[in-house]
Amino acid sequence: MIKKITIVAVLLVLVFVMIGIGLSNSSTETPSEDSEPIVKGDVIMPTKVSRPGCEKTDRCYIPSVITIQSGQQVTWVNEDSAFHSVTSGFYENPTELFDSGHLDPFESYTLDFDETGTFDYFCTLHPWMKGQVIVE
């Protein structure tokens, strides 16, 4: 009888140990106050666009042309490891309507478009990078 009680006790201890190990390995992470919020971009600057060539496949800004309604906003996200910008106009002729300044890798820039029209933009650091916002 003592042998059965000992075996049951050992089995119970093993069960509790297994449950404890399982609970300690489960992920119960909560976002820390230091973590950056994830920004969903409407237009992405993907990796490796800091080198010429993305313009040949129209993939410097994805999408390179975006159509929105008046009053909406567009968010650009730099997913490249290089600095980029979102500057109105063309490299040879900036219009000074908007300029993100240099965006660090994984930094974003959001702009409200309240007027209808076609707004061309480019990257001041990489002149082959061009895009367009069409506001209806």
| pLDDT for the residue numbered 132 | 98
Q: Is the pLDDT of residue 103 over 60?
A: yes
pLDDT in tens, 13-66: 666 666 766 666 544 444 445 555 567 899 999 999 999 999 999 999 999 999
The one-letter code for the residue type at 114 is D
Domain made up of 43-135: CATH architecture: Sandwich (2.60)
| pLDDT for the residue numbered 116 | 97
What's the sign of the alpha-carbon dihedral 123, 124, 126, 129? Answer: positive
Domain boundaries, the chain: 43-135
| pLDDT for the residue numbered 19 | 74
Nearest to 108 by CA among 42, 17, 48: 42
The Cα–Cα gap between 68 and 61 comes to 16
**Biggest alpha carbon–alpha carbon distance for the chain:** 94
104 is written with which tokens? 């660090």
Q: Using the structure block, give the residue that is written with the tokens 């993939």.
A: 59
| pLDDT for the residue numbered 30 | 47
Confidence of residue 90 (pLDDT cuts 50, 70, 90): very high
| pLDDT for the residue numbered 50 | 92
Decide which of 7 and 132 is more confident.
132
Average pLDDT over residues 103-123: 97
Has this prediction a pTM greater than 0.75? no
Mean residue pLDDT of the chain comes to: 86
